Structure 1
């Protein structure tokens, strides 16, 4: 299948999943993860209506951004080193991987110097895997309290990466827990504003993520192939 056919198939799966669980399709957005594609393929994705682009490596992403940034909304979805913050903050509309205080302070410092507000997702290591980045669920609320004092960071949601599981539904508990944590953040009114989003679900598990409340899906191989 070509890219258009894959996109059509994915959108149909999203539509059917939303219908079956009582959600509206426009509650769920696709981030086209283009980190393994060329500038040309990324441009094709944008032309086909995939207006949200996800990149995870600052060095590789910058060249794509320079060529195509006027055509889409850019999401940084990978682990962000503090020495790369200055490159990412001035280019990307969203950062999905706010996972430690040193990073928050560096984002705040750079955003203040540019007089901008950076939209961030706090990354939570719900599964507890050592290979995964993110704050622990137990540390989330104290971390959120500290971030809430930073005037140039707007927390728009939580993000997690579930374990890769071949069995359909095996990641459900991870996604369900992230939604619970997001709801608890809102109940506690830590940020003084509503935190709406859940960035969760990838090519192998996005339908389960939708059923558990995902608002942003990070999709790569299901769109672009292996």
Structure 2
């Protein structure tokens, strides 16, 4: 099942890239393993996946420990991170996809042993139910992070509304890509901002067409 689903997703990545003359190798597939156990996560690793994402601190730590025989796996934290839990997780991950406040950045600065690859979460759709800073705040927020040498802004992240149409998704993803490019053009040492993390199981094709470099896929990998 997982092998077949993975093959379908990889094919869709290739097809989506082909539509806009991109290389499939430019898109990183991050497997969202939050809904499956360690055994199914291991099956993914045996099929060549090397990027796994969790949204709960305890679950990530447990799986990383259980799968320590796969030291080349990159671990991504994609959930809302409470400041009181930063200490226990921040030095165990390779990417943090949900930096959304300066106070959280300060806590990471305090606890991190080395610079942390962070995506700044942007609420492009302006949904009240979503975390993230507003598009208008992106420039000033990233400039403020310059004083924190443990924060390395690799890119921006967003999520489209679950009920958004394909056209709406394209527009949201295009907006984030434009914001990312604008920051990248500033050539900031602390924020090269060359990547975007956008696109999930139901909309990663649109995200790829709009230039994303990281997609976060869970449901499509594990559905029967």
TM-score of the alignment, normalized to the shorter chain, above 0.5: yes
Q: Deviations over 1:61-116 (max 9, x none)?
A: 211011124241000011111011112211111100000011000001111xx2x1
**1:76 and 1:92 in contact (8 A); partners too:** yes
The CA RMSD over aligned residues, in Å, is 1.4
Q: Tell me the equivalent position of 1:107.
A: 108
Q: What SS class does the counterpart of residue 203 from structure 1 fall into?
A: coil
Rounded Cα–Cα distance in structure 2 between residues aligned with 1:160 and 1:136 = 11
- Post-superposition offset of 1:166: 6.1
| Equivalenced residues, count | 222
Q: Tell me the equivalent position of 1:143.
A: 141
Q: Tell me the equivalent position of 1:117.
A: 115
Q: Deviations over 1:129-181 (max 9, x none)?
A: 01110011111111101112211111100000111136433311110000111
Q: What SS class does the counterpart of residue 147 from structure 2 fall into?
A: coil
Q: Tell me the equivalent position of 2:177.
A: 179
Rounded Cα–Cα distance in structure 1 between residues aligned with 2:126 and 2:190 = 28
Mind listing any 5+ residue stretches in structure 1 that lack a counterpart?
Answer: none
**2:99 and 2:120 in contact (8 A); partners too:** yes
Q: What SS class does the counterpart of residue 32 from structure 1 fall into?
A: strand
Rounded Cα–Cα distance in structure 1 between residues aligned with 2:6 and 2:164 = 22
**2:97 and 2:119 in contact (8 A); partners too:** yes
**1:46 and 1:71 in contact (8 A); partners too:** no
Mind listing any 5+ residue stretches in structure 2 that lack a counterpart?
Answer: none
Kindly report which structure 2 residues correspond to 1:1-226, keeping only aligned pairs within 5 A, or say none. Answer: 2-69=1-68, 70-111=71-112, 114=113, 116-165=114-163, 167-191=165-189, 194-225=192-223
- Post-superposition offset of 1:216: 0.3
**2:152 and 2:191 in contact (8 A); partners too:** no
**1:165 and 1:171 in contact (8 A); partners too:** no
**1:144 and 1:190 in contact (8 A); partners too:** no
- Post-superposition offset of 1:194: 2.9
Q: What SS class does the counterpart of residue 67 from structure 2 fall into?
A: helix
Q: What SS class does the counterpart of residue 167 from structure 2 fall into?
A: coil
Structure 1-normalised TM-score? 0.94
**1:156 and 1:195 in contact (8 A); partners too:** yes
Q: What SS class does the counterpart of residue 79 from structure 1 fall into?
A: coil
